[in-house]
Amino acid sequence: MKELNIDSLSGKRIFLGVSGSIAAYKAADICSQLSKLESDIHVVLTAHAAKFVGEATFRALTRNPVLVDIFDEPTAKRIAHIDLAQSADLILLAPASANLLAKMAHGIADDMLTTCLLATPLSTPILAAPAMNTVMWEHPATRANIETLQSRGVQIVEPYSGLLACQDVGMGKLATIEEIVNAVVRRLHQNQYLAGRKILVTAGATREPLDPVRFLSNRSSGKMGFAIAAEAASRGADVTVVSGFTSVIPPDGIEVVQTLTAQSMFEECSSRFSSCDVFIAAAAVSDFTPIEPSDQKIKKSSDNDNQFLSIELKRTTDIVSTLAKQKRKDQVVVGFAVETGDLLVKAHSKLASKNLDLLVANDVTQQGAGFDTDTNIVSILWADGRIEDLPLLTKREVAEHILNVVKPMLSE
């Protein structure tokens, strides 16, 4: 293998997980290359992986303890699987067998490696390099598991087609060592360009009370906003999420400010806006709120002829528009537009009227897009008229695209 001409990984702590595939022997070469880049590598083998390549090999390459059994505890200072999971700058799974991918997707933790993975903060980058028979790779269960993992931010280093150990020819051959190591380097280095930057994100749905038990709201789950927050945190940003109602667990490594109404979300964002470098308004904020919410539960009338209830509504504060008009030249403001038709016409109008730098627009009537899904189909619009239409992607992948677009807009 040719020597890799890439940056040093000095000071980076890498967790290398090796699962039971014949390609496990290549993990030793991956480990060797990462060691030459001065990274601190900690290896965990599954019991099946240890049948292919022994602990002593990785111990010699890393000068660190190598764990297999869930009860392995090389130090009394901290529980091993917690320490390994929470101290890593990046987790690399190479090779990742179909069995390991399935356990990861379903949260199974029945050995040291999968227990570590379940204890890993959501903000920690995870790269998985699969290796398996073609039929296993193409099986619907494996494809579904990979989609699930990608929706959670796991990066797949794709296998390629070739002669497999079983003598079949097809997809499933482990990516080259150079490709895997380069993927590690890119992920660790490119993701730190937001270090020192403050990112303010809104997520979820606001709720406007009608009475003590009812409210006006929408179907937003918060998945898009928290995907952006997780991706920004993984790139080194100091992230605050002002959140309405959500159905997802917030990622680790970010500050979450819980709000309920559009007004309370506006107040929390307004108090933080001047100190942020980027404001990304991904929440679904109610446009209207009752003028006078009832302080008692609204009862049905006993009059059978009275079948209607009238509630007066007033406009809420347009959070992103109000704050964007206050932005400094060195601030970037990104808005979202959820539409149900004439997407680009409406999006262009919002982009101009709200004084935004970028607008991310999506039509929720498209299959795989919109509220409470793990995927999205969006168009990114620039203030100068440029448009980029993205295909169906996971929300984490959409978040990556958004932050990649934001990068050149940030002042040095």
Catalytic sites, residue numbers: 166
Burial 183-208 (b: 16+ CB within 10 A, else e): bbbebbeebeebeebbbbbbbbbbbb
Which whole-number Å values give the CA distances from 132 to 17, 78, 171, 293, in the listed order?
Answer: 16, 35, 8, 59
What does 238-297 look like in DSSP terms, one character per residue?
Answer: EEEEEE-B-SSPPPTTSEEEE--SHHHHHHHHHHHHTT-SEEEE-SB--SEEESS--SSP
Give CA–CA dist 17/75, Å, rounded: 19
Give CA–CA dist 347/329, Å, rounded: 23
Q: Which of 271, 251, 362 is nearest to 323 (CA)?
A: 271
Phi/psi of residue 297, nearest 5 degrees:
-60, 130
Residue 226 CB contacts under 8 Å (≥ 6 apart), including other chains: 203, 241, 246, 248, 250, 251
Residue type, 139: H
Give CA–CA dist 399/396, Å, rounded: 5
Do strands 379-382 and 387-389 pair parallel, antiparallel, or not at all (unpaired)? antiparallel
End-to-end CA distance of the chain: 38
* Contact present, 245 and 136 (Cβ < 8 Å): no
Give CA–CA dist 132/154, Å, rounded: 18
| Residue in the structure block whose two tokens are 């537009």 | 337
Query: Which ranges of 110-219 would DSSP assign to H, the alpha helix?
Result: 112-118, 134-138, 140-151, 177-190
Q: How far, rounded to the nearest angstrom, does the alpha carbon of residue 29 sit from its chain's CA centroid?
A: 29
